[in-house]
Every structure is written in C-alpha cells, then in structure tokens.
Structure 1
C-alpha cells in the first residue's frame, strides 16, 4: 500500500513537471470553473445506471474534517454530443468512452484549456470502464486535488497580502489574499482573519520546542490546541475560549510541507462557555534547522454556510509555507 502511494505521488509529480507532452505546449484557451468542480462526460444511460452511481459515490464522498457532510467535488454531467466548444474549457474533466480500441486509463494535461486535467477512460463496456476507474481513482483524485491547489494559489496571488508580521515574528511566509488582516500579533503568535458571509476565516501561527512530546498525538495535539486557545483565542463572552471539540474524532496524517515533515490534523473546534463551533485544519511542521516546530492552523466560523471551499482555501494557504528571505 505504501509503495502504491509512493508510485502515485511520483506519477503526480511527473504530471505537473515542467516537461510536458505536446498538448501542453500548444496554444489553448484559459480554463474555467469554480474550485473543486468536475465535468463528467458520459452517455445518459450510463450516468443513471450502475457506472454513473459508482462515479457519483466516489467523487462526492465527504470532504474530510467538516461538522456536516459536504461533497469533495461538485459534479456536472454532459453527454458527449454536447461536449464541444466552451464546455471543453472546464479545468477538470473525466471522459468515458465506450470503444474496443485504445482501452485503458490516461491523464492528459492541458488538452483543451490551461490549466486543465483530463482523464480519459476507454472500455468496451461499462464493466471495463468501471474497472479502469476503480484501479486509478486515487491517482485521479490526487491529480485533481493538486490541480485545484495550484489554481487556488494562482488566484490568491493576483492580489496578495504583503503584511510582514509572519516574517518578523516567525521567519515564515504564506501566500494569501489581501482580504486577510492581522488581528493579533505577539512575540510568538500571529492571527490573521478574513471576513466572509456570516462569519470569518482565520489562520494562526506559532512555534513549539522541537523536542515537545507528541508520541500520543490523539491526546497531545488537542491539549496543545486547548492551551493556545485559552491564552490567545477568546470567545465572545468573558471566560470563554476556543477548544477542541471532543464529540468528533479528528483525522491525523503524516505529510510534508515545503519538504519538511509534518503532522496534519483535521477536526472540529468549539468555544468553552459559548455557542460557537466550526472545522479546523492544523499542521505541526518540523523545522529542524531552527530547532523548533512551526504550528499553522486554519479555522472557519460561518454558521449555516457551506464550509468546504473555506477549508480548502485555508488548507491551501498553509501548504504555501516557506521560510522568509
């Protein structure tokens, strides 16, 4: 399983490398579409049948770490007869071809637009196409996720925030829009915030000793978050502060940020002695050069609003972390 994941990551890196196929070098128009949307090209019979049901089940699985289920992607179905012109400019496309020749699965970058990921699945019948999809679904979704991350960074870079608090306090830099403003800046803690409909998006950053005990992460990380919340993140009423909600078990992963080892946590926060809650994403990054751990967390508060794209934005911002020059 580990070897398979490594091979998938290698394929994704090759896919996004500078050396691309001829299709990526040819002139193509700019792609379009909202973040985390997919166009699925398939005949109507298959879409309402078993193959379509399987595709929808896999691609609309819940986005991790939200208090209520929201689909990972928004799907738009088109039949091949109308998949022409502007429709081919979508940023993420999956095409199902019923054919006995060139059967298999392949991903092409920038086939009809730029940036774009197009997956073409060809089989003699639905069973064969279903097989190729099942065998390659992880690679497909990882490729789409990376494509969306890069696109989100591009959009945020159009009007980036140029504040220097993160650089001056922690020696790091993040890419985020100028709609974010610094709301707290202390010796070892920076908090930036963006107002959204009915709420706000937040990113906090601070450091911990490199040798801090994280052997039992399911116990230590919530306690660290709670202590930081009590000191730095007050609620709306006196004596209230942000803590980790224990009713929802967080997701924990080992990952990397800017080639540095990190622990990723996705969970739900709440406010002690108040009625506020929402999702969070937390990265604890090993900075061995400076003998510390860098903690960067994004959390959102937007009652009754969809939170998937909010959390995708916060997660994407954190992945841009680099050391400031």
Structure 2
C-alpha cells in the first residue's frame, strides 16, 4: 500500500510537470547602468556603420558641466558572443541579414536584459535602420536602466504618508532611505544624499499656483526656480543663494508625464556670489485640476568628478512622482 502511494505521487508529479508550462530559469544580468555591449563584426565597427553608431551612442548627455557620453560602449565580434557575454544587461546586435529590421527582445539569456537587433541587406540599409530608429534605440536601453536603478535604490524608501508636505499637498515621490531630511514644512520637501566630503545629491519638491499662460507654456521655469532658490536655498555667505546659471540657458523639453503635460529641464545651477555650481534636472508638471505646477527637482554638487550616473539616479527618483 505504501509503495502504491509513492507511485501515485511520482505519477502526479510527472503529469503536472508535463502538462504545466515550462518556466525558463535565467541568471541575473550583469553590467553597469549606462553601459552597452555592441556585437558587430570588427570591420563593420571600424567602418561607416560603427561611425553612425558612435555618433548616437556617444552623444553627450544634456545639461552636464563636462561632456559625458550617454553610454560606455564595449564592442565584440559575433563569434565572441558566448556565455561570458550573454549575461550582459544591455546588448546591441548589428549585422547583415535577410531583411531590414529593428527588433527588441527582453530577458533572452539573463534578467533583466534588453537585446536590440538591427539587420540590413547591405551596409547602407543597416545605416538607414540605425538612423530611422535612433531615438528608440536610446530610449529602450535608458528606460530599462531607469527601472534597474529604481529597483536597486528603492528597496527601502521613506513612507510618503509620513512626509508632511506630501500629505498636505496631495502628491509624492519615493525617496530612498539613504537620503536624509533637510526640510519638510508643508510647502517644500528637501532631502539630501551625502557623497564624499561636502559633496551631495539634493532632491526638492514644491508647488506653485498657475497664474498665467507663461506658466502653462513653460516660459517661467527659470524665474520660478530662481525664486525658490532665493527663498529656500541660501549660500554660504550672507545674501547668496542658488540660481539657474546665468551664462547659459537651460534645455527645456515639453513631455508627457504620466498623461499630464510637463516640462523636463536640464541645466546648471550656481550659487550667486559663491564659487559653487553643478547640474540639475527638474520636472514641472501641469496639474490643471488643482490650478498649480508640481515641481520635482534634483541636483548634484560633486566638483571634479563625472556626474552622469549621479544625475541618472536623480532622474530615477524624480520619475516616481505621483499626483493624487
């Protein structure tokens, strides 16, 4: 009787294994964010196809004090794309094929992973595919990296319902618990992450009422942030405060932020009267039902070092903004 029971269990197990879907077990992807593995023949990488790819992948990130490319790129020929490299987080495969195509696949050899494959029937057709899909090429990898950063840094975040300003104003973002509170007075939120020495990353959120068409069209963004800096972000000497860098106009892009009209602003900040400066990124969201602009901004102060990855982390945090 005991043997019969064991046999029935074995049969049931085999039946369930055969009838159920087979779930593929993937290893964890490796590689840093903003890094990209390009799989392409050496001759093609060193020729016109490689030139076109470098033009796109090496384009400087907008708003940084020093030029920094969007991606750190590594290249290998297809015959070297074995198990050692297949676990890479972001992979771009390019080469001659039977059709002209641009395809994106997710979690092929590892997870999380994005693989974009570009093929063409000739070098000219490959270049045409690259040019035609350049924006999507960048956004696929960038969006995947943003999700990866959010997953890493937001394992623990401050409870938005415990932040006074968020509860009062009816909006919130997820701020990692590695950031410490500087201000939360019901009108503004200010959190800081300490880097080396006196260097830091800062997160601000606040709202302002909509008073004109210029507010709706993004024409007052610099004025609004300068007024905020004067009121809330003093410098080290009397009368000094944070402003938008006066020498250069920031880059302002109209975007769709979770189905709301918004403006993404990238530029440089400085402290008036003090030798301090760095990059900033802000999202100004038009909240028409409440007749206001909801502003989430982050900046970095880290002189002498590259800041692309710092600002990328700030972008990941700011994009968790939710308006009730």
Instruction: Report the TM-score range of the alignment, normalised by the length of the smaller protein.
Output: 0.7 to 0.9
Task: Give the Å deviation of 1:213.
Answer: 4.8
Task: Give the Å deviation of 1:55.
Answer: 0.8
Task: Give the Å deviation of 1:216.
Answer: 8.9
Gaps of 5+ in 2: 1-22
* Counterpart for residue 320 of structure 1: 320
* Counterpart for residue 305 of structure 2: 305
* Counterpart for residue 117 of structure 1: 114
Q: Figure out how many residues of one structure are paired with residues of the other and give that number.
A: 299
Task: Give the Å deviation of 1:318.
Answer: 1.0
Task: Give the Å deviation of 1:28.
Answer: 2.1
* Counterpart for residue 96 of structure 1: 94
Change (3 A) 1:46 1:241: same
* Preserved CA contact (<8 Å) 1:279 1:300: yes
* Counterpart for residue 182 of structure 1: 181
* Preserved CA contact (<8 Å) 1:105 1:119: yes
Aligned-pair RMSD on alpha carbons?
2.0
2:289 is paired with a residue of what secondary structure? coil
* Counterpart for residue 172 of structure 2: 173
What does 1:209-228 align with in structure 2 at a 5 Å threshold?
A: 209-214=209-214, 220-228=220-228
Q: Equivalents in 1 of 2:249, 2:117: separation in Å?
A: 37
What does 1:225-264 align with in structure 2 at a 5 Å threshold?
A: 225-264=225-264
* Counterpart for residue 159 of structure 1: 156
* Preserved CA contact (<8 Å) 1:91 1:116: yes
Q: Equivalents in 2 of 1:168, 1:131: separation in Å?
A: 50
Q: Equivalents in 1 of 2:175, 2:204: separation in Å?
A: 13
Range that drifts further, 207-216 or 123-132? 207-216
Structure-1-length-normalised TM-score: 0.86
Change (3 A) 1:142 1:155: same
Range that drifts further, 86-95 or 103-112? 103-112
Q: Equivalents in 2 of 1:108, 1:211: separation in Å?
A: 46
What does 1:69-88 align with in structure 2 at a 5 Å threshold?
A: 69-88=67-86
Gaps of 5+ in 1: 1-24
* Counterpart for residue 3 of structure 1: none
* Counterpart for residue 139 of structure 2: 142
Range that drifts further, 265-274 or 48-57? 48-57
Task: Give the Å deviation of 1:41.
Answer: 0.4
Task: Give the Å deviation of 1:167.
Answer: 2.5
